[in-house]
């Protein structure tokens, strides 16, 4: 799968500055120009509280960041066979991520092209076609309109294309990203150096083969989605916010990675462009991730079982059971923590639903995957609640309108090393990752971004054919005049 997944992508043969949204090939840039406003809100070392609290800004985020920017949609392993689908979100839009008969991945809008009914209500399934329950229109897995009962009640049926709307989707090694941008930068350019870290994450699994479990743990918190983003690369909070988790580790006589003194811990964070960043904790744990694991349910049994299989169990196998201690954050909605893929889903300016997907290693003894589930439940129980508590308390604190600014200056001119491309390396106390993604937020939010809905057979519609004829005769007339 590559950049050319949408073979029928209409944008390549059409003019770009089309603003009449009634046209089937409309390219529309919505909302106000915010250049001056974001200049005011995002400074070098401080961020305005409204970035987290303002519902109007939130609505624009749903268009420009969760719509017109590459977002993570899902993983190909969630839809292994033709007809398999999972219901996903791109901002507020429901997306049916489906595998077609040809084995391609599509991101169909879960919105009937007749009057708007969602086509599927289930979170996942396998379908031969998608039939709308309201008036029975049926669409094939590619989004083509397949049947329309009582078609003769339309006088000009094919004037407007009724094929299902789609987003542009591109995969990188199984990770599917999608966007509605009319003219997005290539996914490769968007990922930039983050792609190497993503590759490393995938390659850590034997045979580079991973499988994402379809059912995520879904938990919500009453605060802005960017709280999760601020936290994802915040190395120093672990010592304080997760004090309870660390004490629990001490009780079990395990020195959890989080409990080490932040002043002397050699972890490093790197900003990676386009808001992405990574925190590499490995320098702080010479004995490997498994050495930091507390006793867990079934641990002794599964350890004994692995040893009973005989031979030397390589350290990589043990380490597969826990995370790789590299936290990769791909803006705006893909966070790698431990063996989980965390997908923040913004609900409103002050509510977020976090989706925790568990990744399984396919080519590895069963014990490893069984252990992964129990490892995963550990931090969900004893760590995440304390993170959420912090997010909600920050959101409450930000209700003080007179305290307008949130400080994110830590590390700036005090330990951060900035390279020739402007990317920063900092120790775990640095807030460079926050400053970095905020600059990307500012770039994306500043101006309306042209978006378009992809649709099969747009060029076949009578409307488009008439447009083409008109354009051709105009060109011919112009030639005659000469």
Partner 1 sequence: MTDQPFGLSKTLALYESLVADVAFLDTAPVVFDGALAAEVAATLIGEARLLDRRQFDTWYDLWAEDAAFWMPLHQSHHPARDQGLIMDDHRRLRERVWRMHDTSAWALVPYAQIVRMIGGVEAWPLPQSSTDVIATSAITITHERTGKVTVLAGRQIHRLRRTDDGWQIVRKIMLCPAISAGMPHLGWIL
- What does 135 interact with, of Fe ion, ligand FES, partner 1, none (CB < 5 to 8 A by kind)? ligand FES
- 234: burial class by Cβ within 10 Å (0-12, 13-18, 19+)? buried
For ligand FES, which is the closer residue by CB, 110 or 461? 110
Binding mask 74-113 for ligand FES (x = CB under 6 A): --------------------------------------x-
* Residue 174 Cβ vs Fe ion, minimum distance, rounded to whole Å: 27
Q: Return the closest-CA partner of residue 445 out of 46, 166, 49, 40.
A: 40
**Residues binding ligand FES: what is the number (CB under 6 A)?**
9
Q: If you ran DSSP here, which 8-state letter would residue 213 be given?
A: -
Q: In the bound complex, what is the minimum distance in angstroms from residue 47's beta carbon to partner 1?
A: 23
354 binding ligand FES? (CB under 6 A):
no
Indicate the residue among 247 and 474 with the shorter CB distance to partner 1. Answer: 247
129 contacts ligand FES (rule: CB under 6 A): no
Interface with partner 1 by CB under 8 A: which residues? Answer: 213, 215, 217-222, 241, 243-244, 247-248, 251-252, 295-298, 300-306, 308-309, 353, 355-356, 358, 366-367, 370, 373-374, 376-378, 380-382, 384-386, 388-390
Cα 381 to chain center, whole Å? 24
Q: Select from 33, 134, 200, 465 the one that contacts ligand FES (CB under 6 A).
A: 134
Q: Is 438 in the site for ligand FES (CB under 6 A)?
A: no
Question: Which 8-state DSSP code applies to residue 258?
Answer: G
β partners of residue 218: 355
135 contacts ligand FES (rule: CB under 6 A): yes
Q: Which is nearer to partner 1, 280 or 376 (CB)?
A: 376
DSSP state of 363: S
* 203 vs 366 by CB, closer to partner 1: 366
Tokens of 356: 């925790």
**Residue 132 binds which one of partner 1, ligand FES, Fe ion, none, with CB within 5 to 8 A depending on kind?**
ligand FES
Q: For the stretch 37-76, what's the b/e string if a residue is b when 16 or more beta carbons lie within 10 angstroms of its beta carbon?
A: bbeebbeeeebbbbbbbbeebbebbbbbbbbbbbbbbbbb
CB of 464 to ligand FES, least distance (A): 23
> Cβ(202)–Cβ(359) under 8 Å?
no
Helix (H, G, I), strand (E, B) or coil at 181: strand
- Phi, psi (rounded to 5 degrees) for 10: -75, -20
Cα–Cα dist 92/351, whole Å? 13
Dihedral over Cα of 56, 60, 63, 69: its sign:
negative
* β-strand pairing of 145-147 with 138-139: antiparallel
Q: Which of residues 106-125 bind ligand FES (CB under 6 A)?
A: 112, 114-115, 117
Q: How far is the CB of 376 from ligand FES (least distance, A)?
A: 39
**Which residues in 377-396 contact Fe ion (CB under 5 A)?**
387
Q: Are 210 and 235 in contact (CB under 8 A)?
A: no
Q: Which is nearer to partner 1, 325 or 358 (CB)?
A: 358
Extract the tokens encoding 114: 């007749």
| Closest distance to Fe ion from the beta carbon of 377 (Å) | 16
Question: Least distance to ligand FES from the beta carbon of 24, Å?
Answer: 18
- Name which position in 57, 60, 68, 132 contacts ligand FES (CB under 6 A): 132
Quickly count: other Cβ atoms within 10 Å of residue 466's Cβ: 11
Bridging pattern class, strands 268-273 and 334-337: unpaired
CA end-to-end span of the chain, whole Å? Answer: 47
- Contact segment (CB under 6 A) with ligand FES among 44-52, 128-136, 243-251, 348-356 equals 128-136
137 near ligand FES (CB under 6 A): yes
What one-character DSSP code corresponds to residue 42? B
419 exposure class (CB count in 10 Å sphere: 0-12, 13-18, 19+): exposed
Residue 256 to residue 249: CA distance in whole angstroms: 6
CB of 118 to ligand FES, least distance (A): 9
Q: How far is the CB of 73 from partner 1 (least distance, A)?
A: 18
Residue ranges that bind ligand FES, judged by CB under 6 A: 112, 114-115, 117, 132, 134-137
Residue ranges that bind Fe ion, judged by CB under 5 A: 387
């Amino acid at each position: 799968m590559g950049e050319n997944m949408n073979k029928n992508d209409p944008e390549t043969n059409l003019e770009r500055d089309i603003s009449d949204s009634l046209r089937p090939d409309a390219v529309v840039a919505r909302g106000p120009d915010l250049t001056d406003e974001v200049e005011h809100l995002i400074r070098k070392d401080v961020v305005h509280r409204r970035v987290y609290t303002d519902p109007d800004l939130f609505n624009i985020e749903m268009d420009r960041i969760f719509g017109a920017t590459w977002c993570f949609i899902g993983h190909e392993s969630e839809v292994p066979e033709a007809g398999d689908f999972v219901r996903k979100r791109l901002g507020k839009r429901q997306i049916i991520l489906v595998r077609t008969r040809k084995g391609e991945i599509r991101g169909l809008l879960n919105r009937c092209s007749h009057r708007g009914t969602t086509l599927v209500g289930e979170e996942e399934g396998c379908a031969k076609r998608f039939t709308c329950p309201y008036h029975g229109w049926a669409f094939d897995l590619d989004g083509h309109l397949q049947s329309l009962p009582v078609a003769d009640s339309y006088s000009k049926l094919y004037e407007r294309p009724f094929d299902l709307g789609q987003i542009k989707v591109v995969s990188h090694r199984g990770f599917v990203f999608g966007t509605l941008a009319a003219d997005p930068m290539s996914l490769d350019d968007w990922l930039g150096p983050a792609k190497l870290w993503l590759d490393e994450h995938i390659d850590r699994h034997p045979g580079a083969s991973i499988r994402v479990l379809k059912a995520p743990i879904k938990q919500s918190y009453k605060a802005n989605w960017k709280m999760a983003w601020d936290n994802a690369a915040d190395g120093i909070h672990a010592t304080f916010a997760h004090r309870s988790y660390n004490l629990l580790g001490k009780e079990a006589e395990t020195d959890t990675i989080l409990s080490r003194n932040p002043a002397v811990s050699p972890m490093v964070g790197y900003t990676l462009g386009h808001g992405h960043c990574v925190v590499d904790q490995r320098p702080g744990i010479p004995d490997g991730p498994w050495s930091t694991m507390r006793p867990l349910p079934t641990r002794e049994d599964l350890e004994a079982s692995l040893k009973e299989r005989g031979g030397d169990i390589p350290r990589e196998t043990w380490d597969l059971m826990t995370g790789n201690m590299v936290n990769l954050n791909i803006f705006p909605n893909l966070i790698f923590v431990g063996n989980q893929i965390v997908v923040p889903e913004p609900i409103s300016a002050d509510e977020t639903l976090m989706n925790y997907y568990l990744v399984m290693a396919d080519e590895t003894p069963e014990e490893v995957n069984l252990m992964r589930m129990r490892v995963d439940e550990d931090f969900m129980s004893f760590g995440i609640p304390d993170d959420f508590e912090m997010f909600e308390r920050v959101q409450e604190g930000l209700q003080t309108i007179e305290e307008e600014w949130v400080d994110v200056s830590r590390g700036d001119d005090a330990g951060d090393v900035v390279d020739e491309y402007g990317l920063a390396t900092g120790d775990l106390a640095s807030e460079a990752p926050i400053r970095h993604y905020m600059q990307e937020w500012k770039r994306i939010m500043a101006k309306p971004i042209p978006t378009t809905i992809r649709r099969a057979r747009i060029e076949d519609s009578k409307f488009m054919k008439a447009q083409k004829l008109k354009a051709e005769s105009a060109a011919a007339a112009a030639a005659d005049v000469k």
